Amino acid sequence: MELSRRIGILVFFGVPAIIGGGIVLAIWGSMTAMWAYEAMLAVLAGAFVSR
């Protein structure tokens, strides 16, 4: 996979990490829930980038 495509995938997952992390924190009010959400996104992004 080309480097530009890998960077694009990471940016694509970066936006939901920032916005979604705030939403999860606002709804559940727990940093643990937010970090779980962030970890899930990191695993998914890593899976897509490693292909």
Q: pLDDT at position 21, please?
A: 93
- pLDDT, tens only, 1-51: 788 888 888 888 889 999 999 999 999 999 999 999 999 999 998 888 887
How much is the pLDDT for 33? 95
Residue 25: CB atoms within 10 A of its CB come to 15
Domain definitions of the chain by residue range: 3-50
**pLDDT recorded at residue 26:** 96
Q: How far apart are CA 27 and CA 45, in angstroms?
A: 23
Report the pLDDT value the prediction gives residue 31, as an integer from 0 to 100: 95
